[in-house]
Amino acid sequence: MTPTKLRLPKPPSPIRTSRADASGRPVIRAARTLPRLGATFAAVMAAAWLSTACLSDDPVLDPANAAAQAEVAAPGGGTERNGPGAATTTSITAPTVEPAAPPTTESTQPADEPSPGTLVAHVVGDDIVVYAGPASSRVVGSFINPNRHGTPLVFQSLAEPDSDLVDAGWLPVMLPMRPNGSVGWIRADEVELSRNPYRIEVDVDDFTLTVFRDDEVYFRTVVGIGEGDTPTPYGSFYLTDLLRPSDPGGIYGPYAYGLSGFSESLTSFNGGAGVIGIHGTNQPSALGTRVSHGCIRVANTAISEMATFLPLGTPVEIGDEPGRASAPGPEAATVG
């Protein structure tokens, strides 16, 4: 079997902290211009994805022209416009990782050193098949690469970075599909692995989003969450997309991360599947409240800062005490 490659993240820039009061006025230094950090995403279909996410009151991203907007972005990148009022999208760069040696089956990490983080599986082919178990013939799904938004396909692996599962030829992964929490198995030789030191916790009671790096608080900001009949779903998810809306001052702000999770109260939204996201807002005074259709809103300065260091595949835990919950382990990695 061809050895699975492991890549390690570049050192991040100095610690970032975002503090905001109940009115949502953040105290954060201006975000830097996105650095050139590795491969450019294929043209991202922000209009298509955002119109199926948690909001419906954008005059540009409405159900009537969502189908036309899905064809706005071309694989070559850049921006295009398709018909009256159509949104434009721009290809962007995202944090990436550097090549390194493969993991070993025995950990030599001292107990008092930081957590090794999680593994992100980057699909290398045009598609990948997911199975019900290691060496199983039962297919539970297949995914194209890049995904339908033009983003390189990644999975969060449920294997520990030093696990012998990496050398066994199969990897348990979380899946961006309904029901939330779905997991399956992929062939290890169809992906490249990166080690990710970041994870996100969203506390819906405290209205806070906290980013940890090696289990140390690295970034924190106030959030707006789902309201009433459309609450933000609890559970374990991961970042699947990073999109740039055409209007940075609009209701989605300058950037939007897509999650692997879906609304549990809306089976569809604006013709889409009701994907949950983390994005900016043009209503900062509503941060710290229950205001959305399920997505997680943050200040525009906060999402701009997050976009400079958070890679796809980063775990996201949402709950009232997210730190006490844990992602499903490899033993749970089957889809019924």
> Mean pLDDT, to the nearest integer, of 93-121?
51
> Mean pLDDT, to the nearest integer, of 190-210?
97
Total Cβ atoms within 10 A of residue 255: 26
* Cβ contacts of 109 within 8 Å, gap of 6 or more: 116, 162
Single-letter amino acid, residue 315: P
For residue 167, which phi and psi values (nearest 5 degrees)? -90, -10
Which pair of tokens denotes residue 221?
């900001």
Average pLDDT, the chain: 72
Report if residue 106 sits inside a domain: no
Report if residue 134 sits inside a domain: no
3-state SS assignment for residue 82: coil
Which pair of tokens denotes residue 151?
């983003």
3-state SS assignment for residue 112: coil
**Single pTM value for the model:** 0.72
- Length in residues, the chain: 336
Per-residue pLDDT band at 274 (split at 50, 70, 90): confident
User: How many whole angstroms separate alpha carbon 214 and alpha carbon 103?
Assistant: 17
Rounded CA Rg of the chain: 19
Which pair of tokens denotes residue 241?
């997309």
- Domain of 314? 19-94+198-324
Number of H helices, E strands in the chain: 4, 21
Whether pLDDT at 148 is above 50: yes
Report if residue 13 sits inside a domain: no
Residues annotated catalytic, as ranges: 279, 295
Which pair of tokens denotes residue 212?
């940890």
* Cβ contacts of 256 within 8 Å, gap of 6 or more: 46, 49, 50, 53, 241, 242, 243, 244, 245, 277, 278, 279, 280, 303
User: How many whole angstroms separate alpha carbon 15 and alpha carbon 12?
Assistant: 8
Per-residue pLDDT band at 116 (split at 50, 70, 90): confident
Report if residue 29 sits inside a domain: yes
pLDDT at 167: 79
- SS3 per residue for 59-91: CCCCHHHHHHHCCCCCCCCCCCCCCCCCCCCCC
pLDDT at 135: 84
* Cβ contacts of 273 within 8 Å, gap of 6 or more: 52, 178, 262, 267
Query: 73 vs 41, 42, 183, CA distance in Å?
Result: 12, 9, 30
Report if residue 78 sits inside a domain: yes
Per-residue pLDDT band at 336 (split at 50, 70, 90): very low
Question: The tokens 């090549």 sit on which residue?
Answer: 99
Residue of 274 and 78 predicted with greater confidence = 274
Q: How are the residues of the chain apportioned to helix, strand and coil, as percentages rounded to the nearest 5?
A: 10, 30, 60
Residue 301 sits in a domain of what CATH number?
2.40.440.10
- Count of domains for the chain: 1
pLDDT at 311: 97
> What secondary structure letter does DSSP report for 153?
P
Which pair of tokens denotes residue 249?
């001052």
Report if residue 235 sits inside a domain: yes
Percent of the chain having pLDDT more than 70? Answer: 60
Residue of 161 and 235 predicted with greater confidence = 235
Which pair of tokens denotes residue 110?
């001292």
Contact 294, 275 (CB under 8 A): no
Whether pLDDT at 204 is above 90: yes
CA end-to-end distance (rounded Å), the chain: 29
CB-facing half-sphere around the CA of 198: CA atoms within 13 A = 29
Report if residue 213 sits inside a domain: yes
What tens digit of pLDDT does each residue of 156-178 get?
999 988 788 877 899 999 999 99
pLDDT at 251: 93
Report if residue 156 sits inside a domain: no
User: How many whole angstroms separate alpha carbon 314 and alpha carbon 305?
Assistant: 15
Contact 48, 252 (CB under 8 A): no
Single-letter amino acid, residue 291: V
> Mean pLDDT, to the nearest integer, of 290-305?
97
